[in-house]
Amino acid sequence: MEQPGLRLFGSSARTRILLATALLEQSYPREVGRVAAVPLASAQRIINDLERQGVLASRVRGTQREIRLNPSYFAAGELRALLLRLSLADESLVHAVESIRRRPRRAGKVL
């Protein structure tokens, strides 16, 4: 059985990209694609499309492009709340986001 809301935003890939972006808060297209289990080229195309529509916002830091939900989007708060609620139905996505290391390990730390 298909997860609830998986095609709410047109396709399962598009929905997973939005869910991953909401969970990560601020990230990079490659990381969002990897977490959402979407090929990089598809993730970049979807992200560009969502950015043109005003749903996502990006900025360039050095050579990296950071993306996030657009806080200026007219329904930003409601969209974020909906995405966070929908993410509860996708345990694999939540687990993938939680497993990302956000800070470097201490030098010399034994694994």
CATH number, domain of 34, equals 1.10.10.10
What was the pLDDT predicted at 3? 66
Total domain count for the chain? 1
Q: What is the pLDDT of residues 21-57, one digit of tens each?
A: 999 999 999 999 999 999 999 999 999 999 999 999 9
Contacts of 69 (CB under 8 A, 6+ apart): 21, 22, 55, 56, 57, 76, 79, 80, 83
Q: What is the pTM of this model?
A: 0.85
Share of the chain above pLDDT 70, in %: 93
What six digits make up the tokens of 62? Answer: 């050095």
Q: Residue 83: which domain range?
A: 12-98
Average pLDDT, the chain: 90
What was the pLDDT predicted at 99? 85
Q: Is there a domain that residue 5 lies in?
A: no
Sign of the CA dihedral running 9, 35, 64, 103: positive
